[in-house]
Amino acid sequence: MMRSSSVALLTAAALALGGCATVVPPVEVTRFHNALPGWASGTRYAIATAPLDGSAAAMPSIEWNSYRAAVEQQLQRQGLVAAGSNDRASLLVRISFERSEQLPEARRSPVSVGVGGSTGSYGSGLGLGIGFNLGGGPKRMADLQLSVRIDDATTGQAIWEGRAQTAVPVKAPAAQPSLAAAKLAEALFRDFPGESGRTISVP
């Protein structure tokens, strides 16, 4: 009986250790909005390629296209429709993403952000930048961050904005642009529009 129990425990431990190598870390998500977005299904939107900080426009790249496609997929699930070149868009969706590499000891500094006078703090540090290497020594981590803001295209007023961030080992499959973009976008739009001003951890 004791032998069977020991074998079961060893098997469970082996599976757990094997799973550690492939688990995607939780995503830290914060959203802000003045009120619940009330646009009708079928509302058209345009996407801006400029970063949210107002700096020079982002250059199109494979990684940028991955994030854009992931965000568009989530917007479609909310009933929004991408505007064509000759269509009038009611909403302007701004997308920004960041990717940086660092050792676990380094941490991202908080960034304050808000909509319509509401303020909050991103980057509260829910385990970001921490990695373990069972082989000894820290893993080099990739900090991944996706920011999206939805503005009224006519007035320019921010309606909704959010940020999703996580950290994964640089060599992990989850660090690939397509997988990372899909994971961050899905977490960002989970239970859209989300509770304003609250930071949550999405598994």
Res 120 pLDDT > 50: no
Q: What is the pLDDT of residues 39-80, one digit of tens each?
A: 888 999 998 765 544 443 445 678 888 999 999 999 999 999
Res 197 pLDDT > 60: yes
Say if 172 falls within a structural domain.
Answer: yes
Say if 20 falls within a structural domain.
Answer: no
Residue 95 and residue 68 in contact, taking contact as beta carbons nearer than 8 Å: yes
Say if 11 falls within a structural domain.
Answer: no
The H or E element that residue 22 is part of is none
Which residues are within 8 A (CB) of 106 and not within 5 positions of it... i.e. 6 or more apart? 129
Determine the structural domain holding residue 171 and report its residue range.
25-202
* Spatial separation of the C-alpha atoms in residues 187 and 183, rounded to whole Å: 6
- Give the number of residues written for the chain: 203
Res 167 pLDDT > 90: yes
Residue 117: its pLDDT value, please?
Answer: 37
In sequence order, the β-bridge partners of residue 165 are 28, 145
C-alpha distance from residue 26 to each of 11, 84, 167, 194 (Å): 25, 35, 9, 17
Enter the tokens of residue 142: 């990739």
Res 10 pLDDT > 80: no
Res 121 pLDDT > 50: no
Say if 6 falls within a structural domain.
Answer: no
Say if 100 falls within a structural domain.
Answer: yes
* Spatial separation of the C-alpha atoms in residues 18 and 3, rounded to whole Å: 22
C-alpha distance from residue 35 to each of 32, 94, 101 (Å): 9, 19, 36
Q: Which one is predicted more confidently, 179 or 34?
A: 179
Res 2 pLDDT > 80: no
User: What's this model's pTM, rounded to 2 decimal places?
Assistant: 0.71
- The enclosing domain of 178 has a CATH number of 3.30.160.670
Say if 15 falls within a structural domain.
Answer: no
Residue 39: its pLDDT value, please?
Answer: 80
Residue 24: its pLDDT value, please?
Answer: 66
Mean pLDDT rounded to a whole number for the chain: 75
Number of domains forming the structure of the chain: 1
DSSP state of 83: -
Per DSSP, the three-state class of 163 is strand
* Spatial separation of the C-alpha atoms in residues 60 and 48, rounded to whole Å: 12
Say if 39 falls within a structural domain.
Answer: yes
